[in-house]
């Protein structure tokens, strides 16, 4: 599927250190490329049933920053992202609003593209709709059944049977290492909250996730080698990441609400399918709240990118507001985030246009501080502070420094 227009990214002389990121699986900082010249990134994409909110924007911006840091370090970056364009929440919203689910998904994906473009987020090389990969998922499910990793559960309301993954059949590599494994109680609660069905009768283990949903009346389904139906959630990401990037990838990314069960199960599926770990590192962004609760499409406490832009916000200020927070922190959006960013951006613009005369001899030092901050687990607040400090200390902006701010932070100064 078509992604969106790529922003221009200046090439800046010199190179950044190789980025190190925090890996959720081990709890440690790692170079997820394992020293290779190629970095493969998969980031879980949207379920397109409502507008892009600033939580989504922050998550995609964090991985945009990683892509920029890798490029600045001289690596070749390959990036894939899915779109969950068939799943229960999307179908439920379409039914509620009396619209065709395909039209709802298509219109929301269009909005998402426009928002990503406005924010100058680097597009994935492969932007993949799950509805285009149904045959590949069916093939994978069939393989899991043949190899004993998946089994059918009697499904009275369908002519076929749903298929579940057996979490107790050992695979070599799961997402979360023993260091970070959750207790069973927590796993059951999270599975129930996040798309699982621990109560479903007939499963071997309540935690077993659905990999294939047999066709039901009134639900979309595809005719495949395992009969009519549609993919379960986690397996789409294992299949798309494996097909487009090859396993193991460098980074599997997404918000922290995907750590369990989504990334755990995706990694389990990948291990069962390919006998490979899904990723060298699992990188998770914090959750952004608004009015005291996590922003969520289902709760409706949305601050949308579109809403901010329609109110006249400079997209660069939205970027700067988000970059002023550490990607992995949970934090709350206040309307003052934007006003502070607007003020800061005005100072930066004035600096870049040469309004603040100063000395250029320590510009190189500022550049290396910027690079060091971004490469150190995407410390964008540190990078923002480095620019603030340079301005406060009277360092004049050079064209290279302005280019580096653009290359790493995606902000083209006036």
Q: Which residues are at the interface with ligand 5CA (CB under 6 A)? A: 44-47, 55-56, 58-59, 82, 84, 237, 254-255, 257-258, 285, 287-288, 294-296
Please give the full DSSP string across 265-331, using - where no structure is assigned. HHHHHHHHHHSS-SEEEEEEEPPEEETTEE--TTTT---BHHHHHHTT--HHHHHHHHHTS-TTS-E
Instruction: Give the residue at shortest CB distance from Zn ion.
Output: 44
Q: Are 163 and 224 in contact (CB under 8 A)?
A: no
Binds 241, which of Zn ion, ligand 5CA, none (CB < 5 to 8 A, cut-off by type)? none
Nearer to ligand 5CA, 324 or 347 (CB): 324
Backbone φ and ψ for 37, nearest 5 degrees, come out as -85, -10
Q: Which DSSP helix (H) or strand (E) runs through 403?
A: helix 399-409
Instruction: Give the residue at shortest CB distance from ligand 5CA.
Output: 255
Nearer to ligand 5CA, 81 or 155 (CB): 81
Q: Tell me 20's DSSP state.
A: B
∠ CA 79-80-82, nearest 5°, is 155
Please give the full DSSP string across 96-150, using - where no structure is assigned. HHT--HHHHHHHHHHHHHHHHHHTTPPPPSEEEEGGGSHHHHHHHHHHHHHTTSE
Binds 269, which of Zn ion, ligand 5CA, none (CB < 5 to 8 A, cut-off by type)? none
How far apart CA 247 and CA 240 sit, in angstroms, is 10
Binds 285, which of Zn ion, ligand 5CA, none (CB < 5 to 8 A, cut-off by type)? ligand 5CA
Binds 45, which of Zn ion, ligand 5CA, none (CB < 5 to 8 A, cut-off by type)? ligand 5CA
Nearer to ligand 5CA, 291 or 353 (CB): 291
Does residue 230 sit in helix, strand or coil? strand
* Minimum separation from the CB atom of position 146 to Zn ion (A): 24
Binds 138, which of Zn ion, ligand 5CA, none (CB < 5 to 8 A, cut-off by type)? none
Binds 391, which of Zn ion, ligand 5CA, none (CB < 5 to 8 A, cut-off by type)? none
Q: At a CB cut-off of 8 Å and minimum separation 6, what does 17 contact?
A: 73, 371, 372, 375
Applying CB under 5 A, which residues contact Zn ion?
44, 237
How many other C-beta atoms are found inside a 10 Å radius of the C-beta of residue 353? 12
How far apart CA 21 and CA 65 sit, in angstroms, is 12
* Minimum separation from the CB atom of position 82 to Zn ion (A): 6
* Minimum separation from the CB atom of position 46 to ligand 5CA (A): 4
* Minimum separation from the CB atom of position 94 to Zn ion (A): 20
* Minimum separation from the CB atom of position 37 to ligand 5CA (A): 27
Nearer to ligand 5CA, 158 or 238 (CB): 238
Nearer to ligand 5CA, 84 or 224 (CB): 84
Nearer to Zn ion, 214 or 235 (CB): 235
* Minimum separation from the CB atom of position 202 to ligand 5CA (A): 26
Q: For residue 1, which of 73, 66, 84 has the smallest C-alpha distance?
A: 84
Nearer to ligand 5CA, 67 or 254 (CB): 254
* Minimum separation from the CB atom of position 237 to ligand 5CA (A): 5
Q: Are 276 and 27 in contact (CB under 8 A)?
A: no
* Minimum separation from the CB atom of position 258 to ligand 5CA (A): 5
Residue 350 structure tokens: 């004035």
Nearer to ligand 5CA, 200 or 294 (CB): 294
How far apart CA 284 and CA 252 sit, in angstroms, is 9
Q: At a CB cut-off of 8 Å and minimum separation 6, what does 288 contact?
A: 54, 55, 58, 294, 295, 330, 331, 332, 333
* Minimum separation from the CB atom of position 134 to ligand 5CA (A): 15
* Minimum separation from the CB atom of position 122 to ligand 5CA (A): 16
* Measured CA distances, 225 to 86, 140, 143, 153, 378 (Å): 19, 10, 11, 18, 44
Nearer to ligand 5CA, 48 or 403 (CB): 48
Binds 294, which of Zn ion, ligand 5CA, none (CB < 5 to 8 A, cut-off by type)? ligand 5CA
Nearer to Zn ion, 191 or 320 (CB): 191
Binds 67, which of Zn ion, ligand 5CA, none (CB < 5 to 8 A, cut-off by type)? none
């Amino acid at each position: 599927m078509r992604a969106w227009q790529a922003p221009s990214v200046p090439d800046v002389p010199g190179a950044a250190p190789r980025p190190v990121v925090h890996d959720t699986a081990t709890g440690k900082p790692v170079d997820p490329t394992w020293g290779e010249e190629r970095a493969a990134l998969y980031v879980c994409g949207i379920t397109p049933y409502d507008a892009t909110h600033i939580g989504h924007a922050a998550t995609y911006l964090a991985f945009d920053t990683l892509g920029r840091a890798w490029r600045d370090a001289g690596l070749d970056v390959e990036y894939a992202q899915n779109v969950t364009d068939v799943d229960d929440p999307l179908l439920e919203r379409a039914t509620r609003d009396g619209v065709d689910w395909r039209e709802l998904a298509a219109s929301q994906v269009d909005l998402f593209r426009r928002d990503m473009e406005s924010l100058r987020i680097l597009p994935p090389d492969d932007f993949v709709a799950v509805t285009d990969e149904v045959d590949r998922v069916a093939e994978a499910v069939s393989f899991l059944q043949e190899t004993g990793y998946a089994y059918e559960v009697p499904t009275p309301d369908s002519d076929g049977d749903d298929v579940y993954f057996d979490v107790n059949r050992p695979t070599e590599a799961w997402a979360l290492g023993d260091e970070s494994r959750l207790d069973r109680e927590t796993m059951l609660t999270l599975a129930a909250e996040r798309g699982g069905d621990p109560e479903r009768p007939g499963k071997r283990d309540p935690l077993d996730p659905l990999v294939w949903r047999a066709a039901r009346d009134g639900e979309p389904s595809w005719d495949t080698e395992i009969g009519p139906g549609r993919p379960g959630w986690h397996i789409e990401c294992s299949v798309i990441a494996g097909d487009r990037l090859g396993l193991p990838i460098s980074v599997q990314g997404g918000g922290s609400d995907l750590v369990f069960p989504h990334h755990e199960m995706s990694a389990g599926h990948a291990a069962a399918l390919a006998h490979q770990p899904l990723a060298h590192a699992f990188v998770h962004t914090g959750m952004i709240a608004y009015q005291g609760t996590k922003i969520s499409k289902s709760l409706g406490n949305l601050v949308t990118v579109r809403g901010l832009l329609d109110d006249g916000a400079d997209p660069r200020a939205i970027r700067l507001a988000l970059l002023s927070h550490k990607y992995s922190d949970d934090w709350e959006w206040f309307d003052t985030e934007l006003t502070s960013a607007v003020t800061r951006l005005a100072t930066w613009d004035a600096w870049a246009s040469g309004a603040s005369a100063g000395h250029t001899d320590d510009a190189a030092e500022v550049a290396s501080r910027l690079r060091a901050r971004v490469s150190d687990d995407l410390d964008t607040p540190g990078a923002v502070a480095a620019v603030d400090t340079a301005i406060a200390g009277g360092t004049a902006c050079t064209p290279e420094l302005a280019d580096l701010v653009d290359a790493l932070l995606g902000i083209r100064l006036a």
